Amino acid sequence: MRLIFASLLTISLISCNKDTNSYKLEGDAVGFADGTEIFVYTLENKQPKVIDTLTVTQGKFSATYPKSDDINLSFLRINEINGSVLFFPENEDMTATIYKDSIQASRVNGGKQNESYGNFVSEMTAFNKKKQESMERFRDARQANDTAAIAQIQSENLNMVGEETEYKKQFLKDNKNSIFSVMLISEMLSRKEITPAEASAYINDLEPKLAESEIVQDLKTNLEALKKAEVGSAAPNFSAPTPTGETLSLKDAMGKYTIIDFWASWCKPCRMENPNVVNVYNKYHDKGLNIISVSLDKAEQKDKWIQAIKDDKMDWYHVSNLQFWQDPIAQQYSVRSIPATFLVDENGMIIDKDLRGAALEAKIATLLGAE
């Protein structure tokens, strides 16, 4: 849920209900001493802003707010507790329960969006419990060297991941007027649980008023950038300095097939994958495979970048702007984690991405012939 909470800073919501001029927020503060302050946050210019401070009295708190046609997403925070309680004002009375010993179990009820969000959190809690139990069983099976049990648990885990993803997709279909659905689309996109095309389809199916909101417009902009580096699209051209200071472009490095490899000397998963990439390059370079690696090292890490190239025997093209995650090429390709790879054909079209290990060699073998 961390990625979901990180999205709070980019959200606004239009809500409409004019039955009365105000709505109430009343709640129980379980385990909190009298005088404890509860801060009510909204969003202003995409930044959190305290709009009210509530005081716990005999385990209770309450407030009344004017209804509005333009209300931001809100959340409750208490200084002594690490975490927030997310809620969606819909111009309806709400009741909250905040537990001092379990902020994760705290909830705000009232309105359709809060109800659907609460149901979602409950389902995710159930999935996470199953995952934890499966992890414990897997550790026991591995300790006992029970290969049959290990295989069974791995199969169950794959099914569980599929069930969780399908639940999320169904939630998006069933909650087309929920700002949380937009948050979920963004999270699933970043986790690669849905493709940019699927994300666009969900967005296009949102209720018109929500579709006009700022968060949806921002997400659409991000999607357009993602689509520029998707399978089936032309690989964006780029140029950057080589380790020796010359400027090299993607077009200069193109072969019959070309791997664009995003990595860094400090990235352990990248360094672990490098021997496999070296093996594939050595097998298929003479048949037309080229590689251009784009490093996300920092300026002060230039020597480490160059040394890592030598140590890992990466005998192909290398470039880097030495700008860490602000690297313009990484942003061009919407790279948010490394290693990340894009396989490009001789026409400059992206034909596959993020191939690793045996999958990378198998793909190149089908294109250039097995060794």
Question: In the block, which residue shows the tokens 């079209």?
Answer: 349
Predicted local confidence at residue 70, as pLDDT = 65
Q: What is the mean pLDDT of residues 256-267?
A: 97
pLDDT per residue as tens digits for the range 31-41: 999 999 999 99
Is pLDDT larger for residue 69 or for residue 2? 69
Across the chain, mean pLDDT equals 90
Residue reference for tokens 């949380």? 180
Name the CATH code of domain 239-368 (choices 3.40.50.300, 3.40.50.720, 1.10.1040.10, 3.40.30.10). Answer: 3.40.30.10
Instruction: Say if residues 89 and 66 touch (Cβ distance below 8 Å).
Output: no
Q: pLDDT value at position 73?
A: 84
List the chain domain ranges.
Answer: 8-110, 115-227, 239-368
Cβ atoms of 180 and 213 closer than 8 Å: no
Q: Residue 1: is its pLDDT beyond 70?
A: no
- In the prediction, which pLDDT does 2 show? 47
Contacts of 220 (CB under 8 A, 6+ apart): 200, 203
**Amino acid letter, residue 173:** K
- pLDDT tens digit sequence for 196-209: 889 999 999 988 88
% of residues, the chain, pLDDT over 90: 74
Q: What confidence score (pLDDT) does residue 16 get?
A: 44
The whole-number average pLDDT for the span 323-327 is 94
Q: What are the residues facing 234 on neighbouring strands?
A: 349
Dump pLDDT digits (tens) for 166-193.
Answer: 999 999 999 988 889 999 999 998 888 9
Say whether pLDDT at 351 is over 80: yes
pLDDT at 5 over 50: no
Looking at residue 370, its pLDDT comes to 66
Amino acid 3: pLDDT: 47
> pLDDT by residue (tens digit) across 35-89?
999 999 988 877 899 999 999 999 999 999 998 876 568 999 998 888 899 999 9
pLDDT at 225 over 80: no
Residue 317 has pLDDT above 90, yes or no: yes
Q: How confident is the model at residue 6 (pLDDT cuts 50, 70, 90)?
A: very low
Shortest CA distance to 294 belongs to which of 226, 340, 246, 362? Answer: 340
Please give the Cα distance from 6 to 39 (Å, whole number).
18
Residues 6+ away with beta carbon under 8 Å from 369: 287
Report DSSP state, residue 127.
Answer: H
Same fold, 8-110 and 239-368: no
pLDDT of 14 above 60: no
pLDDT in tens, 90-108: 899 999 999 999 998 999 9
Domain 8-110, CATH class in plain words: mainly beta
Mean of the pLDDT values across residues 233-255? 95
Report how far apart, in Å, the C-alpha atoms of 91 and of each of 25, 42, 106, 304, 315 are: 10, 14, 21, 56, 63
Between 106 and 213, the higher pLDDT residue:
106
- How high is the pLDDT of residue 68? 80
What's the whole-number mean pLDDT along residues 14-34?
79
Q: Which pLDDT score is estimated for 233?
A: 87
Q: List, for residues 290-305, the tens digit of each pLDDT value.
A: 999 999 999 999 999 9
Q: What is the pLDDT of residue 371?
A: 58
- Whether pLDDT at 257 is above 90: yes
- Is the pLDDT at 306 greater than 60? The verdict is yes
Residues 6+ positions from 29 with CB-CB distance below 8 Å: 36, 38, 56, 59, 60, 61, 98, 100
User: For the whole model, what pTM was predicted?
Assistant: 0.67
| pLDDT band per the 50, 70, 90 thresholds, residue 253 | very high
Nearest to 32 by CA among 85, 73, 70: 85
At residue 135, the pLDDT reads: 93
